[in-house]
Amino acid sequence: MNIAYQFLDGRKGGQSFVSVAEFIMLQDREVPAIDDSAKVLSVEIDGEPYEFSGNVADLFFELNKK
């Protein structure tokens, strides 16, 4: 799983996770892997683009429902 994101101050970043489960686990910690307020620019799951619009917290809640 790959996520490209943009912080509120305009800086951009990206992060890779082994799986959706790893992303959920790391976001659920006291200090999340990616700031919850960062805007998601793109998401790729298992090599396929995943349609999503929102911030990292929204992505966490959407994927946690599955």
- Residue 4 confidence (pLDDT): 98
pTM listed for this prediction? 0.93
Which neighbouring-strand residues pair with 49?
Answer: 44
Q: Is the pLDDT assigned to residue 65 strictly greater than 80?
A: yes
Q: Is the pLDDT assigned to residue 66 strictly greater than 80?
A: no
- Residue 42 confidence (pLDDT): 98
Domain count, the chain: 1
pLDDT tens column, 40-60: 999 999 999 999 999 999 999
pLDDT tens column, 6-22: 999 999 999 999 999 99
Structural domain boundaries, residue 20: 2-65
CATH of residue 6? 3.30.1490.390
The position carrying tokens 């976001």 is 27
Beta strands in the chain (DSSP E): 2-6, 12-16, 39-45, 48-49
